[in-house]
Amino acid sequence: MSMNTQGRQTAPEVVTVSEHKTISGNKGLAQAEKLIFEIGTPRRTGVDLPALKGVKSRLGGRLGGMERTEEIGLPGLSEPETMRHYVRLSQKNYAIDLGVYPLGSCTMKHNPRLNEKMARLPGFADVHPLQPRGTVQGALAVMGELSDWLLKLTGMPAVALSPKAGAHGELCGMMAIRAALDAKGADHKRRVLVPESAHGTNPATAVQCGFTIDAIPATDCGRVDMDALKTKLGDDKENSDVAGIMLTNPNTCGLFESDIIEIAELIHGAGGYFYCDGANFTALVGRVRPGDLGIDAMHLNLHKTFSTPHGGGGPGSGPTVLSEALAPFAPVPYVEKHNGKWKLVEDVNGTDSFGRMTAFHGQMGMFVRALSYMLSHGADGLKQATEDAVLNANYVQARLSEDMSPAFGGICMHEALFNDDFLKGTGVETLDFAKAMIDEGYHPMTMYFPLVVHGAMLIEPTESESKAELDRFIDMMKGLAKRAKAGEVDFFKAAPIYAPMRRLDETKAARNPVLRWRKQPSP
């Protein structure tokens, strides 16, 4: 064993263990954990209350016959048992705070702790959405200032803050487009063009809004096929049934759509609107303003571009910016300043607003975090974050291209896309490669997306990673690629060996999910 001068082991010894099962089910200090219902019993409780005296709730009495007649069935645990249960569960999460999280398209960047501190200030954390306006001027000012930043960064005239995720922002933008078409009586315009590389939420959103989808193929360079687009638009622009396009830029192949201005002109020429999926805005902030590209609506994922946490599926936040043409149809509420006082506009009477998307204002905690991120970076810092994110992705792409196969030539934006050509003939597939990454202690990259690339591996390092961290990741990936090419197919098919769960039946889990615990009948 080699040691450094501090007596710490430097190079881990490579040990090969045949599969070894522990008696406890624990692995090292990682503990197996059952469901809370399986460890709890209704006879145990973490609190000690005196028995109720003199309260008789007869059937049909004060609860109007709604009294519980059976045990409530909650799991009973003592305080230390409860604590251990949740701490053990929390340790099963892989997180951006633990290591590189290279999921492409998802932009998993560091969430600065300053943002958390700001969001926890009682003046933000403890306000209630129904509080009188006079008592929440600060919170409304945060919404106003965040709106200003988003409008400046995008070069757009209006923003709806209330959508609660990227997909919800898409719904907001497409509902505004639908309302604008309806206002013109253009009910023949129901076809939405969507590139084949689009995120699944794009076509799903358009269909929700009553549109049909027409897919545009990609060229060999991974961008919109302009000839195909022109054919889809047809010659009779006057009577075109095209409602608009939903395009991602940079697209999900990590490439800038270089014909974007011409695309906007063509769509507008046919009387349609341009929805841009802004999930990849992290590659543009401070460098490109979507408003200059002819975009009519675009959502921003605060939980991607502006570092607010993704959480366990939420809460996200998907503010949507709108062009002059769509602004009148924006949803309520939004904030306005009159005579030095902030006010929340909620009334739709006498306006063209399509209505309301959420009960209240949106994700206040995310607004505070995103604004804190913007203010602490400043305009120059945001621009540098963008440039670093693009530089990091290109560094990964350049070094990995020696052993893996990039899907397209040339420089990428904020994410590097590979196909599975380098695995041809090895018997190893993208999925096996990803499982081997887990054994190496890395969360796999995005796999099999975008669909236009065979066996896709989409890697987004973001600006959070240092060169040293990137090099460790790259060396690991190159090592795996070499093992695959050296014919070690059994090694890959067995992976992951070190994970608490090995290969799961992912198809069955997706098709037949078991989402609810049911009490086993007692023996």
Ligand X SMILES: *Cc1c(COP(=O)(O)O)cnc(C)c1O
**Site mask, ligand X, residues 318-357, x = CB under 6 A?**
x---------------------------------------
Please, which residue, 205 or 430, has the CB nearer to ligand X?
A: 205
Nearest to 390 by CA among 258, 276, 279, 280: 280
| Residue with tokens 């093992």, as numbered in its chain | 483
**Near ligand X by CB under 6 A: residue from 316, 331, 365, 444:** 316
Task: Specify the pairing of strand 341-345 against strand 405-406.
Answer: unpaired
**Near ligand X by CB under 6 A: residue from 282, 301, 392, 430:** 301
Task: Give the shortest CB-165-to-ligand X separation in angstroms.
Answer: 4
Task: Give the shortest CB-457-to-ligand X separation in angstroms.
Answer: 16
Query: From its phi and psi, is residue 443 left (phi > 0), alpha (psi between -120 and 50) or beta?
Result: beta
- Which tokens is 215 given? 């897919």
Task: Give the shortest CB-248-to-ligand X separation in angstroms.
Answer: 5
Task: Give the shortest CB-416-to-ligand X separation in angstroms.
Answer: 15
Please, which residue, 316 or 362, has the CB nearer to ligand X?
A: 316
> What is the distance, to the nearest Å, from the Cα of residue 261 to the centroid of all Cα atoms in its chain?
27
Environment class of 252 (CB within 10 Å of its CB; exposed 0-12, middle 13-18, buried 19+): buried
Question: In the Cβ-directed half-sphere of 117, how many Cα atoms lie within 13 Å?
Answer: 6
- Which tokens is 153 given? 């960064």
Q: Which of residues 451-490 bind ligand X (CB under 6 A)?
A: none
Please, which residue, 281 or 408, has the CB nearer to ligand X?
A: 281
Q: Which of residues 56-115 bind ligand X (CB under 6 A)?
A: 105-106
**Near ligand X by CB under 6 A: residue from 218, 260, 279, 459:** 279
Cα separation, 277 vs 442, whole angstroms: 28
Task: Give the shortest CB-276-to-ligand X separation in angstroms.
Answer: 10
3-state secondary structure at position 193 = strand
For the beta carbon of residue 326, count every other beta carbon within 10 angstroms. Answer: 26
* 248 forms part of the interface with ligand X (CB under 6 A): yes
Task: Give the shortest CB-283-to-ligand X separation in angstroms.
Answer: 11
Question: In the Cβ-directed half-sphere of 321, how many Cα atoms lie within 13 Å?
Answer: 28
Task: Give the shortest CB-199-to-ligand X separation in angstroms.
Answer: 3
DSSP 13: P
* 250 forms part of the interface with ligand X (CB under 6 A): no
Residue 276, beta-bridge partner list: 247, 298
Cα separation, 379 vs 279, whole angstroms: 20
Q: Is the distance from CB of 279 to CB of 250 less than 8 angstroms?
A: no
Please, which residue, 247 or 428, has the CB nearer to ligand X?
A: 247
Q: Total residues contacting ligand X (rule CB under 6 A)?
A: 14
Task: Give the shortest CB-55-to-ligand X separation in angstroms.
Answer: 48
Please, which residue, 254 or 271, has the CB nearer to ligand X?
A: 254
Please, which residue, 170 or 225, has the CB nearer to ligand X?
A: 170
Helix ranges, 10-96 (H)? 36-39, 79-91
Determine phi and psi for 491, rounding to 5 degrees.
-60, -45
* 305 forms part of the interface with ligand X (CB under 6 A): no
Cα 180 to Cα 163, 215, 232, 376, distances in angstroms? 19, 23, 22, 38
**Which range of residues in 38-46, 93-101, 160-168, 422-430 is near ligand X by CB under 6 A?**
160-168
Please, which residue, 40 or 278, has the CB nearer to ligand X?
A: 278
Please, which residue, 306 or 342, has the CB nearer to ligand X?
A: 306
Please, which residue, 115 or 426, has the CB nearer to ligand X?
A: 115
Q: Which of residues 162-191 bind ligand X (CB under 6 A)?
A: 165-167
Q: Is the distance from CB of 236 to CB of 394 less than 8 angstroms?
A: no
Task: Give the shortest CB-168-to-ligand X separation in angstroms.
Answer: 7
**Which range of residues in 161-169, 347-355, 396-404, 508-516 is near ligand X by CB under 6 A?**
161-169
* 252 forms part of the interface with ligand X (CB under 6 A): yes
Cα 171 to Cα 156, 162, 192, 387, distances in angstroms? 18, 12, 14, 30
* 284 forms part of the interface with ligand X (CB under 6 A): no
Task: Give the shortest CB-251-to-ligand X separation in angstroms.
Answer: 8
In this structure, is the dihedral angle defined by the CA atoms of residues 505, 510, 516 and 519, taken in order, positive or negative?
Answer: negative
* 277 forms part of the interface with ligand X (CB under 6 A): yes
* 271 forms part of the interface with ligand X (CB under 6 A): no
Environment class of 408 (CB within 10 Å of its CB; exposed 0-12, middle 13-18, buried 19+): buried
Task: Give the shortest CB-278-to-ligand X separation in angstroms.
Answer: 8
| Residue ranges that bind ligand X, judged by CB under 6 A | 105-106, 165-167, 199, 201, 248, 252, 277, 279, 301, 316, 318
